Amino acid sequence: MELTVLVDNNTLIDRYLLAEPGLSLLIEDEEITVLFDVGYSAIFLENAAKLGKQLDNLDYLVLSHCHLDHTWGLGPLIRYATELHIEQRPFKRPTLVAHPEVFASVRIEGGGEIGCLLSAEKLAKHCTLQLSAAPQALSSRLMFLGEIPRRNAFEARYPIGRREGAEGGDQVIDDSALVYRTSKGLVIVTGCSHAGICNIIEYAKEICGDNRVVDIVGGLHLLSPPSDQLQGTIAYLDKLQPQAVHACHCTDLPSKIALSRVVPLHEVGVGLTISYVV
């Protein structure tokens, strides 16, 4: 299996690609091709073209959660598909996998919309919708985790914005992740980890029946985190001892430095391709 970073906050050194505060990952294996999140703009399409990656034959489009830095690239993706249709070029209709709450409107106080700009009805014209809070198998090795149980007291405590129709702040209940099973253990692929990266890993281990973790790739939502959250995460990963951690997007430098003291932390940027032996 190969995982390629199409969007991140950073690019790899001496790679003339585009970056933005967002995330998009392309997952390719012998069975399926999956686009995980689409970033904030159209740069995932530009970067994919430069990297020689085809996005016209996706089996699945997976959204980790509703936020703008992960879903606002949906508009450019639909334009891309429409233009291919106009030019009578093939475009495979992907299945869109996400939590059922992913299309709810979320607004920040004193600001505007930070959730997905497109409705389920609009996207259903271009994708086959597969919305589920329960885990969903995408292939024999890749699993969408659905709604993540939030069991750790030090994680997922602070709301972001307000969901339409809700009384309190939004706890981003739609936040989910992917897990890929290899013979050596699990690869955890996460968007922002609003549910808590330790909660996500524990649920992936439970669903797959495997306690070994090969890699953790994606945003860990450690942005000036409270001390107990950072220390709880460090203690958990120190005990887990994953073979690698590719923390990016919403993981700040002090948190990366702290994590690097207990786990093998690797550089991430647009253009990075990671290969895993099945």
User: Quick check: 186 pLDDT over 90?
Assistant: yes
Predicted pLDDT of residue 149: 98
Predicted pLDDT of residue 167: 84
Domain that holds residue 21: 2-275
Domain CATH for 95? 3.60.15.10
Predicted pLDDT of residue 193: 98
Write the pLDDT tens digit of every residue in 43-102.
999 999 999 999 999 999 999 999 999 999 999 999 999 999 999 999 999 999 999 999
Question: Can you give the pTM of this predicted structure?
Answer: 0.97
Q: How far is CA 202 from the centre of its chain?
A: 17
Write the pLDDT tens digit of every residue in 89-113.
999 999 999 999 999 999 998 879 9
Torsion of CA 19, 23, 28, 33, to 10 degrees: -120
Closest CA to 154 of 202, 212, 204: 202
Confidence band of 166 (pLDDT split at 50, 70, 90): confident
210's enclosing H/E stretch is none
d(CA 37, CA 68): 10
Give the position of tokens 């869109």. 96
How many Å from the N-terminal Cα to the C-terminal Cα in the chain? 7
User: What SS3 state is found at 227?
Assistant: helix
Q: Domain tally for the chain?
A: 1
**CA-based torsion, 140, 77, 175, 266: positive or negative:** positive
Predicted pLDDT of residue 165: 83
User: What SS3 state is found at 101?
Assistant: coil
Per cent of the chain over pLDDT 90 is 97
d(CA 23, CA 43): 10
Predicted pLDDT of residue 111: 79
